[in-house]
């Protein structure tokens, strides 16, 4: 069976890209292949990560739509993963790869999402708001900013002594898990199913705390622990 070819788009360190490459390499995302890594910026560590795995990688200027579309064609791409790609995809690309593009956002969308909500600013806003939980959301990319249907969320409790940096670190770890599950669903044609009934990953250690919070979560999607995650 031919593999499900993924293009991973980045702009920075690429830890989410690494999580996807690792999951593909160790078989957690079967029948998939990271065919190409495309960065919007020169000299980012994500390009080195691709090089280390002998994965074709390149920089394409974010305005160069023609080259981006051509490259996606060249590598026969079936699905696109935005892994810290800090620019809005051109509409031509979004339209052509409808429901085949996944983004990872460091908050529980629709909260703390949209224009201006990226990087550490998201976590600063979460702390300033006083919400007890935050997390990460893997969602379908549509024509808006962070407005596409959520597929999988991962919940992270905000701790008393959290700084934006400490929160960002814990959320990033959950992003990796959430993104891997969403890319697996994409490769296994389960996106429509998740769009109808998203999933929510919670941390076993925090199970009691989260289930107190679960009433709100239930509306967000089916609550699963890491244990359930293995059998998704």
Contact flag: residue 225 with ligand GRF (CB under 6 A): no
Alpha carbon of residue 162 to chain centroid: 23
> Per rule CB under 6 A, is residue 181 in the interface with ligand GRF?
no
Structure-block tokens of residue 101: 């593009």
23-82 binders of ligand GRF (CB under 6 A): none
> Interacting stretch for ligand GRF, rule CB under 6 A, among 26-34, 53-61, 64-72, 99-107?
99-107
Of 16 and 181, which has the nearer Cβ to ligand GRF?
16
Q: According to CB under 6 A, which residues from 153 to 172 bind ligand GRF?
A: 172
HEC string for the chain = CCCEEEEEEECCCCHHHHHHHHHHHCCCCCCEEEEEEEECCCCCHHHHHHHHCCCCEEECCCCCHHHHHHHHHHCCCCEEEECCCCCCCCHHHHHHCCCCEEEEECCCCCCCCCCCCCCHHHHHHHHHHCCCEEEEEEEECCCCCCCCCEEEEEEEECCCCCCHHHHHHHHHHHHHHHHHHHHHHHHCCCHHHHHHCCEEEECHHHHHHHHHHHHHHHHHCEEEEHHHHHCC
Between 145 and 214, name the residue whose CB sits nearer to ligand GRF.
Answer: 145
Contact with ligand GRF (CB under 6 A) among 14, 148, 154, 221: 14
Number of residues that bind ligand GRF (CB under 6 A): 15
- Position among 3, 13, 147, 166 found at the interface with ligand GRF (CB under 6 A): 13
CB-nearest residue to ligand GRF: 84
Which one of the spans 8-16, 88-96, 138-146, 159-167 is the region binding ligand GRF (CB under 6 A)?
Answer: 8-16
C-alpha distances in Å from residue 78, one per residue of 175, 186, 190, 219: 22, 9, 14, 31
Q: Does 113 bind ligand GRF (CB under 6 A)?
A: no
Smallest separation (angstroms) from ligand GRF to the CB of 217: 20
- 105 touches ligand GRF (CB under 6 A): yes
> Of these residues, 63, 105, 139, 176, which one is catalytic?
105
Is 123 among the residues known to form the active site?
no
Give the footprint of ligand GRF on this chain (CB under 6 A): 10, 12-17, 83-84, 104-106, 118, 172, 175
Catalytic residues: 105
């Amino acid at each position: 069976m031919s593999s499900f070819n993924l293009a991973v788009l980045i702009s920075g360190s690429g830890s989410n890209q690494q999580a996807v490459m690792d999951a593909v390499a160790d078989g957690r995302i079967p029948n998939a292949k990271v065919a190409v890594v495309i960065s919007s910026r020169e000299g980012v560590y994500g390009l080195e990560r691709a090089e280390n795995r002998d994965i074709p990688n390149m920089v394409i200027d974010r305005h160069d739509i023609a080259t981006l579309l051509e490259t996606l064609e060249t590598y026969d791409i079936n699905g696109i993963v935005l892994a810290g790609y800090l620019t809005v995809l051109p509409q031509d690309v979004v339209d052509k790869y409808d429901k085949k593009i996944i983004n990872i956002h460091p908050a529980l969308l629709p909260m703390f999402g949209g224009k201006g909500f990226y990087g550490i600013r998201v976590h600063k806003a979460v702390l300033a708001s006083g919400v007890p939980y935050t997390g990460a959301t893997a969602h379908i990319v549509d024509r808006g900013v962070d407005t596409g249907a959520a597929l999988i969320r991962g919940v992270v409790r905000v701790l008393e002594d959290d700084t934006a940096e400490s929160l960002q670190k814990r959320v990033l770890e959950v992003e990796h898990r959430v993104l891997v599950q969403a890319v697996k669903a994409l490769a296994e044609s389960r996106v429509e199913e998740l769009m109808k009934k998203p999933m929510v990953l919670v941390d076993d250690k925090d199970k009691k705390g989260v289930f107190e919070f679960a009433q709100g979560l239930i509306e967000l999607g089916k609550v699963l622990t890491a244990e359930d995650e293995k059998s998704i």
